[in-house]
Amino acid sequence: MMPVDAALARLLAAVPTPPATETVPLGQSLHRVLAETLFSQVTVPPSDNSAVDGYALRHADLAAHPDGLPVSQRIPAGVVPSALNPGTAARIFTGATVPDGADTVVMQEQCSVEGSSGEDSIGEARVSPTSAQPGSNIRRQGQDIRAGAEVVAAGTRLTARHIGLLASVGVAEVRVFRPLRVAVLSTGDELAEPGQALAPGQIYNSNRFLLCALLSQAGFIPVDMGRVADRRDDTEAALARAVSEADLILTTGGVSVGEEDHVRGAVLAQGALDLWRIAIKPGKPFAFGRVGDVPFMGLPGNPSAVLVTFMVLVLPWLRRAQGQAGDPHLPVTWLPAGFSLSKPGGRQEYLRVQVAEQGGMQRLVPHDNQSSGMLSSACWAHGLAVVPVNTVVAEGDLLAFLRFD
């Protein structure tokens, strides 16, 4: 059987060039992959500004005015202040520009204010700081971003944080790669759709909904081709439709050599197919090829095997094909095992586990039932613990952990 790393390397080596680009409004760019590196046209913040509500002053003036400093101006955010008069303080608010001549902002809670007309009364109020550190509470010009600096690199999948950062430097629209469209075909006469009554021998079609949701969650566009009957002509027709609508074709089940498994023959009739036996559990049969010029992947039929092979094999391929830079694999956290396995396995195993407190430490605790036909255990679990091939596990051994979120 092919090791998981070798299978993934072969998949990534066959990734096509990224799709065409398009320009979209910044507010519509969440989860899109940036096609060009963006540089700031402005400095952020554009000037020194106050981090608190308080009083701006020259720290050296405090010693010369032990009875307090008169308030000479009031500076809300968005107002251009006058230079600070020597020997005075300015009432200032969070985000407001610090006036020339001031080098310190004192929080209002650290000041005593005297004056019959209130603390904001210009010319009448006097402020005496009870504590003041030179240079405190000032956000310096350019401390976040300098004009001309790189803001977000090409190949970045944009998160809410990136969008907020780009908005802060005035970017209104971005050039991104067109999102990949992935056709999902579910084969099998035994499949019934949710909402229908089950006939004898039927099961509900969970893989179709699972894959479409996984694709949407990852920022791709699922093209739901529905259920395909176990007939050669129906399978070939569905694949032909998928070629015209998708950048990748995904199927579940139907790639073996049984008389009712028509996907293999239908793919070979319109393209090429390579069947792999991968040392992965759950899962093992995996098909990779093309229908026409569109890449094709055939996943196992059991739901948990679909989940695992999508996370481990399909998702990295899609990320790289989308133009996303960097490591396409799921991020790994290393956590100690809260269980033991005395018998080494011949396949790399992905156990559905929770992260639980044991003895004051977070440990990986597996579900009792690791059947590849179960999805309830995946809903119970926080992610997957990876047990390498031919490995025994003792409690406390560190294992790679892949979070579902």
Contact (Cβ atoms closer than 8 angstroms) between residue 145 and residue 169: yes
94-107: string of b/e by CB count within 10 Å (b at 16+)? eebbbbebbbbbbb
CA distances from 209 to 192, 228, 233, 258, 363 (A): 12, 14, 24, 25, 31
Per-residue pLDDT tens over the stretch 213-223:
999 999 999 99
pLDDT cut 70: percent of the chain above it: 96
Encoded tokens for 247: 């950048």
Examine residue 45 and say whether the peptide bond preceding it is cis (omega within 30 degrees of 0).
yes
In DSSP terms, which residues pair with 264 in a beta bridge?
none
Instruction: Determine the 3-state secondary structure of 151 from DSSP.
Output: strand
- The pLDDT value recorded for residue 259 is 44
Of 23-32, 56-65, 141-150, 226-235, the range with the lowest mean pLDDT is: 226-235
Cα distance between the two ends of the chain: 30
Task: Give residue 261's pLDDT.
Answer: 66
Tokens of 211: 């894959």
Nearest CA to 182 out of 14, 297, 23, 345 is that of 297
Record the tokens describing residue 2, joined without a space.
């092919």
Cis (ω within 30 of 0) for the bond into 16? no
What would the mean pLDDT of 296-325 be, rounded to a whole number? 95
Domain limits, CATH 3.40.980.10, in the chain: 4-17+179-321
- The CATH T-level fold of domain 4-17+179-321 is Molybdenum Cofactor Biosythetic Enzyme; Chain A (3.40.980)
Neighbouring residues of 122: CB distance < 8 A, sequence distance ≥ 6: 71, 72, 73, 74, 91
Residue 203: pLDDT band with limits 50, 70, 90: confident
User: In 3D, which of 107, 124, 115, 110 has the Cα closest to residue 56?
Assistant: 107
Give mean pLDDT, residues 159-163.
Answer: 97
pLDDT in tens, 268-305: 999 999 888 999 999 988 999 999 999 999 998 889 99
As a whole number, the mean pLDDT across the chain is: 92
Place of tokens 């010009």: 141
Domain range 49-139, CATH class: mainly beta
The residues, ordered by sequence, that sit 6+ positions from 69 with a Cβ below 8 Å of its Cβ are 55, 57, 61, 62, 87, 88, 89, 126, 127, 128
Highest mean pLDDT among 56-65, 169-178, 258-267: 169-178
Cα 10 from chain centre:
25
- Cα 92 from Cα 90, distance rounded (Å): 6
Over residues 89-139, the pLDDT tens digits come to 999 999 999 999 999 999 999 998 887 555 566 776 788 888 889 999 999
Cβ burial, residue 222 (10 Å; 0-12/13-18/19+):
buried
CATH 2.40.340.10 residue window(s) in the chain: 333-403
Q: Give Cα 257 distance to the centre of its chain.
A: 38
CATH 2.170.190.11 domain residues, the chain: 49-139
Q: What pTM value is reported for the model?
A: 0.86
Question: Which CATH class, in words, describes the domain spanning 333-403?
Answer: mainly beta
